[in-house]
Chain A
Amino acid sequence: MKRMVEFTVNGEAREMAVNGCCSLLDALRDEVGLTGTKKGCDVGDCGACTVLVDGEPVNACLMLAVEAEGRAVETVEGLQPGVDRLHPLQDAFMRHGASQCGFCTPGILMMAKKLLDDNPHPSDEDIRFGLSGNICRCTGYTKIFDAIKSAAREMEATRP
């Protein structure tokens, strides 16, 4: 039986009919049509599906779409502050080679955003701990750590 559900995605209200068993991940990808959020395992192990729900990072594969009722969902597609501007993390990921195949990137970016929002000066240990639920199989993480540190400095420098 389908149910109606309404939530915002990157600030825009979305309404859709979904099966009770439909995950938030499938709803985002198939119903909303935002395919930036990836499915690497569908069971919470890889973090490729990380999105923010009411500001908190969750695995979209382990949440049902119906549970998102009335909530605010943020995905990688909403990360850019403006049409032709990049978030400092996006820019740093490009400059530092933090994205190779890119499949882990959307999830890691969302996790990193949360990390820097909460903690503008993360230590190496904080960054490693923060990303422990996100698998990257291409980079060995080194470049990802570099990029996050660089973005933190950049955000610090431009903070009003």
Chain B
Amino acid sequence: MNMTTPIEQREFKIVGKSVKRDDVLEKVTGEAQYTGDIKLPGMLHGKIKRAAIAHARIKSIDVSKALAYPGVKAVLTHETVPRVLHYGSPHPRSASCTKDQYILDHKVRFWGEGVAAVAAISEEIADEALDLIEVEYEALPGVFEPEDAVQLGAPLIHEVGPGGNLVLDPVRVNRGDIDKGFAEADFVLEGTFAGGRPHPAYMEPNVCVADWDGSNKLTFWTSTQTSFMVRGILAEVLGLPLTKVRVLVDHMGGGFGAKQDLFQHEFLCALLAKETRRPVKMEFTRHETFVAGRSRHPCKIWLKQGFKNDGTLVARDMKLVYDSGAYGSHGPGVTIVGTTAATSLYRCENVRLEGRCVYTNTPINGAFRGYGVVQSYYALDIQMDEAAERLGMDPAELKLKNVVRAGDIAPSGHPIIGHGLEICLKHGIDVLDWTTLRGRDRTPDPKRPHIRKGWGIGCEMHGSSAYPGIKEQGNATVKVNEDGTVTLLTGAAGLGTGAHTALAQIVAEELGVRFEDVGVIHGDTDVVPWDIGAFASHTTYLVGTAAKMAAEKVRAAVLARAAMKLQVSAEEIDLSEGKVFLIAEPDRSMTVSEAMGPSRGIPAANIVANGTYEPTKSYSFAAHFTEVDIDTETGIVEVKRVVPVHDVGRVIHPIAAQGQIEGGIQQGIGHTLTEDYVIDKKTGRSLNAGLVDYKMPLSMDMPDIETIILEAAPDPGGPWGAKGVGEDPIIAIGPSIANAIHDAIGVRFHHYPITPEDILKALREKGA
């Protein structure tokens, strides 16, 4: 679609309303089927033996005792599985990564990596059998920090790739003239920033079930965001045509990006089922979701920016190093997206960026909501606050001055559409009466003299779709049935975001039928049109437009058929709320059902159309305003209130959009203050792989959130201007908290999570 296409304005009947989500009915009654709920006759249970060493060569594996254990049906090791080098994630096919993974290898690259798999008649027996597998290792020196991994002579983790433990060649972006920029600067700010290793901690542990039929076809249920990618890579690695692999996902219990990879257990489950000729289920323990799941890339950033005394930004020099963990996974994508994102947010003509991604002997980092940008914008936004402080300016004012606006070149290389970020900021400033808030009386409450209050702002922007890293394609098939009901077939996964409901709303709106008359079929790769997967906040934007295009086509066909039946021309009639009527004479009408049904001499019809859409990219924007309370004796930071202001172009389902924002804020508060998956820097062992010590904010910890959604900058690439919202909230909340902490106690933090110990230490250093 052409970027200059005007956005159709209309009075919406269904879009913009919080219609009842169909899928939720099954969820509140307990009927919704998740992969773990599947039980097949004769089903076996698989378990994975995991290495208790971070870097080693396997000298020998003896599985004889495990195989002899009563109830055990099969054991697989690197000696018995196909040795096929593959990508961990589907994306690198177009984002220049090296294939660096085997199903099982003779080398261990992180503590917790699978070295063998067992299938047995019960989960307990499989678990007990793991202890009977004897592995002899030759320990290799490990590296656990990117700075150590890139040293000359550091142990090499992979034989493939660009070498030097780099996952990909450094990503470099240059715009303008950096030297000229710094020469023009009145002052320069320079700092280093560091991000921890938050884990998505979705509630449903990874799980899959594999079943082969007599014709050697694999049916595979799995909790994934990218079922077609699972199908593709499974088929490739198992040497099967796509017709012999069927992937099914009905409901899934969250993914937040991390369920996009092809996991070791997925291959092993399929292979165990093949070997035993019985269905096999493999379910992660909560512990495994950490060690064998995917976390956000820890990142170290060096950022130097030049400013004029009027607040103009004239130069930005930035180096980012992302820690990929033991395999590439989404490292390339994250590095490219996170690095190029730093061209934008705050306008700057002279930019030099360099992003690296490095292997270490730690658990794999992958995709997680915010995809590399959480890290880079944390640095950009905090340093903007510092510049305001240096200038004696209100940070809101400085941010307003510098935020990107319509026509500026976005990270994708396209001009930005609309003044979304400016409008979000201004809106929040007005709603909160920010100036008064900043000028408030700051004397501590005599009843709680150790408490300090602070307010901070965090800004962000984020693209819907993964363009230009990946040229995506959205597909939808819309069928109008003989009775006038409508079936939408989509390959987009239902993560629980309400995406399917939004798609059904779009189809109903475009076609002119009632929302209740649209049914959605999803989750079966043998049936639905191909889809790249649910990620990059793109389902509404990308698949939504495809669905709208398909609906537009069937609408024309329905009108043509009705015109024939009404014996008028198609131009004379219109279709709305399930009724076809004469524009000039609205009382002359027929229902869509009548139009589609049989009448004398005319059999019933079924109209089918496909929509295929290959978009570029749109950007959504947000400014978060956050209040914190800090206990200066314990260092505990409590987030009291968040006012998130988001521009999503066009709201399809307000409650679902708010839900995305509020959930993202919870995760963002988590990684900024309490959540960090900690790996021992000496051994590579996980120190808190469980929900006791991986601390997510819970019901008592959540602040009041007053979500504001604006339709400030609709994007012509999305349905009626709609853009994504899934990832935005988690990016803006972090810097808003860090900036609020500074406002409260006058201390700057450049890292996350900011722990109570950090606060106390800083207060002490400050001499407070």
Residue positions of A touching B, CB distance < 8 A: 19, 21, 29-30, 33-43, 45-46, 48, 75-77, 79-80, 86, 89-90, 93-97, 99-106, 109, 127-132, 134-145
Contacts and interface: CB of A to CB of B under 8 A. Distances in A.
Interface string B626-660: 00000000000000000000000000000110110
Q: Which 3 A-B pairs have the closest CB atoms?
A: A36-B30, A101-B496, A103-B253
A45 B691 contact: yes
A65 B214 CA distance: 37
Contacts of B661: 140
Given A137-B666, A139-B659, A94 B28 contact: yes
Interface in B728-765: none
Nearest to B32: A102
B691 A103 contact: no
Given A38-B34, A141-B702, A104 B656 contact: no
Contacts of A89: 28
Nearest to B27: A102
Interface stretch (B508-516, B692-700, B714-722): B692-700
A100 B496 contact: yes
B520 interface: no
Contacts of B702: 128, 140-142
A40 B286 contact: yes
A75 B31 CA distance: 12
A128 B690 CA distance: 22
Nearest to A109: B28
Contacts of A130: 699
Nearest to B34: A103
B98 to A, nearest CB: 32
Nearest to B204: A103
Contact of B37 (A35, A109, A127): A35
A104 B497 contact: no
Nearest to B207: A39
Given A45-B692, A137-B201, A142-B705, A105 B658 contact: no
A138 B690 CA distance: 18
Nearest to A92: B28
- For chain A, what secondary structure do more than half of its interface residues adopt (helix, strand, loop), or is it mixed? loop
Contact of A42 (B24, B203, B253, B286): B286
7 contacts: A21-B124, A46-B286, A90-B29, A99-B27, A128-B702, A140-B666, A141-B699
Contacts of A37: 30
B254 interface: yes
Contacts of A21: 124
Nearest to A80: B29
Given A141-B702, A142-B662, A40 B28 contact: no
A13 to B, nearest CB: 20
Given A97-B656, A101-B496, A36 B29 contact: yes
A76 B655 contact: no
A104 B30 CA distance: 11
Given A36-B29, A36-B31, A46-B203, A97 B655 contact: yes
A96 B658 CA distance: 10
B36 to A, nearest CB: 7
Interface string B11-49: 000000010110111111111111011010000000000
A38 B662 CA distance: 23
Contact of B663 (A33, A94, A95, A137): A137
Contacts of A97: 18, 21, 498, 655-656, 658-659
A39 B289 CA distance: 13
B659 A100 contact: yes
Contacts of B387: none
Contacts of A38: 34, 36, 203-204, 253
Contacts of B624: none
A79 B30 CA distance: 9
Contacts of B25: 94
Contacts of A40: 203-205, 253, 286
Given A40-B205, A48-B203, A79-B29, A138 B691 contact: no
B203 A104 contact: yes
A137 B699 contact: no
B666 A141 contact: yes
A80 B655 CA distance: 24
B285 A42 contact: yes
B178 interface: no
Q: Point out which of B26, B29, B705 has the most chain A C-beta atoms below 10 A from its C-beta.
A: B29
Contacts of B285: 42
Nearest to B36: A39
B116 interface: no
A6 to B, nearest CB: 22
A128 B251 CA distance: 27
Contacts of B256: 137
A105 B27 contact: yes
Interface string B360-401: 000000000000000000000000000000000000000000
Given A75-B30, A128-B702, A139-B659, 5 more contacts: A34-B30, A36-B29, A43-B690, A100-B498, A140-B659
A128 B496 contact: no
Q: Point out which of A29, A40, A102 has the most chain B C-beta atoms below 10 A from its C-beta.
A: A102
A103 B206 CA distance: 13
A66 B666 CA distance: 38
B28 A137 contact: no
B665 interface: yes
A80 B25 CA distance: 11
A122 to B, nearest CB: 12
B286 A43 contact: yes
Interface in B278-304: 285-286
A143 B666 CA distance: 12
Contact of A140 (B24, B36, B662): B662
B666 A101 contact: no
A49 B286 CA distance: 14
A99 B662 contact: no
Given A101-B202, A101-B254, A138-B254, A94 B24 contact: yes
Nearest to A147: B28
Contacts of B664: 140
Contacts of B201: 137
B357 interface: no
Contact of A129 (B26, B30, B700): B700
A127 B23 CA distance: 25
B24 A135 contact: no
B667 interface: yes
Nearest to B30: A36
Contact of A102 (B496, B696, B700, B707): B496
A130 B698 CA distance: 11
B252 interface: yes
A128 B699 contact: yes
Interface string B659-696: 10111111100000000000000000000001110001
Given A77-B29, A99-B27, A128-B699, A143 B252 contact: no
Interface string B246-271: 00000111101000000000000000
Nearest to B255: A101
Contacts of B205: 39-41
Contacts of A43: 286, 690-691
B725 interface: no
Contact of A139 (B124, B663, B692): B663
Contacts of A75: 30
B658 A143 contact: yes
Contacts of B28: 76, 79, 86, 89-90, 93-94, 99, 102, 105, 109
Nearest to B692: A45
Nearest to B39: A30
B677 to A, nearest CB: 14
